[in-house]
């Protein structure tokens, strides 16, 4: 194993709070750490095992509930339970949930698996909405991470302490999940992904391989949920919702499912979209959806795969095709700007009564009652899209002719 990237990551993670002092930035980084564990655990299922689970939030969510209840129960009983171990209670909760739910999900692969996970997630979510005592209804269950138990004076009251706890769990989880992929079982999981039938005829039941993947994955998903419970000190049934599950699928895919790094990239994108994009525009979910559709159509290898392909090209490639690539990028940006302008104006149209007719769009002031603005946005979106498709085609033809 090449240790250099790991050391660089550890150094970056340790030094980050020295550079970013604001609470806001620390919370953002903490959320990225939590999302990284969730995406990596999902990648074990999808990337390594080829299992498209639509219900991964079931495990992160139940992990969060397990953690917050453990925290509260320890306080109520007056037990001196170290807060730093609460995420493990989340992991165990996820694991316990997977012993049953994962068993049901992993009986078959492919489409059947996707459907079963979707059904089970919906089931758990419905139960969460009804079970007021355990799930707390709409307001959820609150907790307080600052307890009497404070080994070495660490109370986790400050965001920095919380950040380091999350960072430690994220690094250890990443290392553990990576190590798992190098074991014989991890290799068999790849084999089951590629051809489960062949594995069966070689002497192993693919179900047991898949089931174990669910157990591991749910354990780490539960840790991620447990950390989220500690960070926000509240867990609501939303944590188990399909929106959360879909978000994990979307961003892990956008980051790139073939590689380990892809999941980390996906996690960063997820938090930036949830926190950054959502504060910029009410249409942020629409943009996420568009990005996903675009990714599936034009970059199925994900952002990481795209970058890897780009870096693998020799310099001569860029000398030769650099112009076309720049034009391609330009036309894509143009199309995106056009679409974004249309979306923003459409949203404003709906909310005109409260927000007025003017849309601030970068350096421009768009006016939803001016037809020229609509026409211009349409023209930019369409011409950008048209140029993008033409240039892409031209590039493929050129590359094909060379090969």
Instruction: Using CB under 8 A, list all residues that contact another protein.
Output: 179-180, 182-188, 190-191, 193-195, 197-205, 208-209, 212, 216
Residue 182 or residue 350: which is nearer to another protein going by CB?
182
Residue 144 or residue 182: which is nearer to another protein going by CB?
182
Cβ-Cβ contacts under 8 Å for 329 (sequence gap 6 or more):
none
Least distance between another protein and beta carbon 303 (Å)? 20
Report the candidate in 175, 179, 171 with the shortest Cα–Cα distance to residue 227: 171
Least distance between another protein and beta carbon 97 (Å)? 20
Least distance between another protein and beta carbon 253 (Å)? 17
Least distance between another protein and beta carbon 208 (Å)? 7
Q: Is residue 153 packed enough to be buried (19+ CB in 10 Å), middle (13-18) or exposed (0-12)?
A: exposed
Least distance between another protein and beta carbon 172 (Å)? 16
Going from the C-alpha of 403 to that of each of 321, 393, 396, the distances in angstroms are 14, 15, 11
Least distance between another protein and beta carbon 197 (Å)? 7
Residue 84 or residue 258: which is nearer to another protein going by CB?
258
Cβ-Cβ contacts under 8 Å for 27 (sequence gap 6 or more):
159, 231
Going from the C-alpha of 12 to that of each of 7, 9, 19, 30, 166, the distances in angstroms are 9, 5, 10, 14, 14
Least distance between another protein and beta carbon 87 (Å)? 21
CA-CA distance, 353 to 342, in Å (whole number)? 18
Cα 24–Cα 25–Cα 29 angle in degrees, nearest 5: 120
Cα 128–Cα 80–Cα 140 angle in degrees, nearest 5: 20
Residue 56 or residue 212: which is nearer to another protein going by CB?
212
Counting Cα atoms < 13 Å in the Cβ hemisphere of 200 gives 9
Q: What is the SS3 assignment for 366?
A: strand
Residue 149 or residue 190: which is nearer to another protein going by CB?
190
Residue 185 or residue 260: which is nearer to another protein going by CB?
185
Residue 166 or residue 180: which is nearer to another protein going by CB?
180
Report the candidate in 227, 90, 77 with the shortest Cα–Cα distance to residue 161: 227
């Amino acid at each position: 194993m090449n240790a250099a990237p790991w050391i660089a990551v550890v150094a970056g993670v340790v030094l980050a709070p020295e550079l970013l002092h604001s609470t806001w930035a620390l919370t953002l980084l903490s959320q990225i750490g939590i999302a990284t564990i969730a995406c990596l655990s999902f990648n074990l299922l999808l990337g390594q095992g080829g299992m498209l689970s639509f219900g991964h939030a079931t495990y992160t969510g139940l992990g969060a509930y397990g953690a917050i209840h453990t925290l509260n129960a320890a306080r109520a009983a007056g037990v001196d339970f170290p807060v730093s171990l609460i995420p493990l209670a989340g992991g165990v909760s996820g694991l316990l949930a997977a012993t049953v739910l994962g068993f049901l999900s992993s009986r078959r692969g492919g489409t059947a698996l996707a459907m079963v996970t979707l059904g089970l997630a919906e089931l758990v979510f419905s139960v969460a909405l009804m079970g007021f005592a355990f799930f707390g209804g709409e307001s959820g269950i609150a907790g307080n991470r600052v307890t009497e138990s404070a080994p070495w004076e660490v109370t986790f009251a400050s965001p920095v302490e919380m950040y380091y706890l999350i960072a430690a769990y994220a690094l250890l989880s990443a290392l553990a999940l990576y190590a798992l992929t190098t074991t014989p079982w991890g290799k068999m999981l790849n084999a089951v992904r590629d051809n489960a039938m062949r594995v069966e005829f070689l002497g192993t039941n693919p179900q047991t391989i898949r089931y174990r993947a669910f157990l591991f994955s749910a354990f780490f998903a539960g840790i991620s949920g447990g950390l989220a419970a500690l960070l926000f000190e509240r867990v609501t049934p939303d944590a188990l919702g399909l929106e959360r599950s879909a978000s994990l699928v979307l961003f892990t895919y956008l980051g790139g499912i073939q590689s380990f790094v892809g999941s980390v990239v996906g996690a960063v994108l997820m938090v930036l979209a949830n926190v950054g994009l959502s504060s910029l525009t009410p249409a942020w979910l629409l943009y996420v959806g568009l990005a996903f559709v675009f990714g599936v159509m034009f970059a199925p290898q994900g952002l990481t795969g795209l970058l890897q392909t780009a870096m693998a090209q020799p310099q001569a490639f860029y000398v030769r095709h650099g112009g076309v690539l720049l034009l391609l990028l330009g036309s894509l940006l143009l199309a995106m700007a056009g679409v974004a302008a249309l979306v923003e104006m459409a949203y404003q149209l709906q909310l005109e009564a409260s927000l007025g007719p003017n849309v601030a769009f970068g350096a421009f002031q768009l006016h939803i009652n001016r037809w020229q603005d609509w026409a211009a946005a349409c023209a930019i979106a369409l011409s950008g899209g048209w140029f993008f498709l033409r240039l892409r085609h031209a590039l493929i033809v050129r590359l094909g002719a060379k090969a």
